Structure 1
Amino acid sequence: MKATLDGVVIAEADRDDLASIEGNWYFPPQAVREGALHESPTPYTCPWKGAAQYWNISVDGAELPDGAWSYPDLYPGAVDRVGKDFAGFVAFDRKVVVSD
């Protein structure tokens, strides 16, 4: 699967390597293009996943503030709920196109 913004590929991985959570595809960190994400200070904590790290997307002229997020340190029980360890996996804003 691919995640693209303005036609620029940001992440790419086999579907089996991703996690599908609440309507979002989470890509493993190694699937994300190097240098595409830059830390954002935006705070958010999910009641069952934990504290999120938001990311600004900036690559090849494609820009999207807070366009991605991940959960580096999952709350206990989150992995059991999803059935897969998704710590550090990256999900994208709806403006990013995720396709097969």
Structure 2
Amino acid sequence: MTTARWQGTVVAESEDTVVVEGNHYFPVESVRVEFLRPSDTTTVCGWKGTANYYSLDVAGHTNPDAVWYYADPKPEAEQVRGRVAFWHGVEITE
């Protein structure tokens, strides 16, 4: 089981993560969506495509742009479709 925690709270948990470039991509169904807040931030990866972001909001604390996903990944990154990854202090444990 792979777990993502922030502020001591489990924000995602799954036995089915995909690791790409050292990042665990969790199925969107495994994420506690009540902690996600939409962000206007986007970035572009040359081989994965355009990433969109969510901020985490846990117990009154906000972690801006701590979650990213590729809504329409390029063909070579299709394995991350429907998945999200975490950073900015989100602890990932296996």
Calculate the TM-score normalised by the size of structure 2.
0.90
Q: Pick from 72, 85, 88 the counterpart of residue 82 of structure 2.
A: 88
Q: Answer yes or no: is 1:8 the counterpart of 2:12.
A: no
SS in 2 for 1:77: helix
Alignment of 1:60-71 (within 5 A): 60-71=59-70
CA deviation vs aligned residue, 1:65-84 (integer Å, no higher than 9, x gap): 011100110112223xxxxx
Structure 1: any 5+ residue segments left out of the alignment?
80-84
Structure 2: any 5+ residue segments left out of the alignment?
none
- Name the Cα RMSD after superposition: 1.2
The 2-side partners of 1:33 and 1:51 are apart by 23
The 1-side partners of 2:61 and 2:26 are apart by 19
Tell me which amino acid in the other structure corresponds to 2:43.
Y
The 1-side partners of 2:76 and 2:66 are apart by 26
Calculate the TM-score normalised by the size of structure 1.
0.85
State, as a whole percentage, how many aligned pairs show the same letter.
Answer: 40
The 1-side partners of 2:35 and 2:82 are apart by 15
Q: Compute the displacement of 1:34 (Å).
A: 2.4
The 2-side partners of 1:62 and 1:8 are apart by 11
Partner in structure 1 of residue 92 of structure 2? 98
The 2-side partners of 1:88 and 1:60 are apart by 26
Instruction: Flag the structure with higher strand content.
Output: 2
Partner in structure 1 of residue 27 of structure 2? 28
Tell me which amino acid in the other structure corresponds to 2:93.
S
